[in-house]
Structure 1
Amino acid sequence: MAVWCYMFATGAALFRKSITLIAFLAAVPAAAEQCREDRVDIRQGGIQVSINVEIADDAQERARGLMFVEHMPQLDGMLFVYQDSPRRRSFWMRNTLIPLDMLFIAADGTVRDIHSNAVPLDETGIPSATDDIVAVLEVNGGLSEMLGLEPGAQVRHPVFSNEAAWTCD
Structure 2
Amino acid sequence: MRHSARNFGFARLVSALLALFLCLSLPAFAQEKFDIQPLTIVTKDGKSHAFAVELAVTPRQREQGLMNRQEMADDKGMLFAFGETRQVFMWMKNTYIPLDMLFIGKDGKVRAIKENAEPLSEAIIDSQGPIDYVLELTGGTVKRLGIRSGNRVQNELIDSLRKAK
Provide the TM-score with structure 1 as the length reference: 0.71
RMSD: 1.8
Contact 1:40 1:157 in 2 (8 A): yes
Assess if the C-alpha contact under 8 Å between 1:108 and 1:163 holds in 2.
Answer: no
**Is 1:141 paired with 2:139?**
yes
Tell me what 2:103 maps to.
104
Matches of 2:72 and 2:160 in 1, distance apart?
31
Percent identity at matched positions? 39
Asked whether the 8 Å contact 2:115–2:142 carries over to 1, the reply is: yes
Partner of 2:79: 79
The answer on whether the counterparts of 1:47 and 1:147 sit within 8 Å (CA) in structure 2 is no
Deviations along 1:57-83, one digit per CA (max 9) or x if unpaired, are: 000000000001101111100000111
How many Å apart are 1:38 and its aligned residue? 1.1
Residue of structure 1 in register with 2:90 after alignment: 91
Residues 37 and 156, structure 2, Cα contact 8 Å, conserved in 1:
no
The AA in structure 2 aligned to 1:53 is: V
Q: Which residue of 2 aligns with 1:62?
A: 62
Residue number in structure 1 paired with 2:129: 130
Deviation at 1:41, TM superposition (A): 0.7
Q: Name the SS of the counterpart of 1:87 in structure 2.
A: strand
Note the C-alpha offset of 1:115: 0.2
Q: Distance in 1 between matches of 2:132 and 2:53?
A: 16
1:40 and 1:136 map into 2 onto residues whose CA distance is 13
Structure 2: state its 5+ residue gaps. 1-35
Q: Which amino acid in structure 2 is aligned with residue 120 of structure 1?
A: P
SS in 1 for 2:115: strand
Asked if residue 160 in structure 1 is aligned to residue 155 in structure 2, the reply is no
Shift of 1:130: 1.6
**Relative to total residues, which structure has the larger helix share, 1 or 2?**
2
SS in 1 for 2:144: helix
Say which SS state the counterpart of residue 88 (structure 1) adopts: strand
Give the length in aligned residue pairs: 128
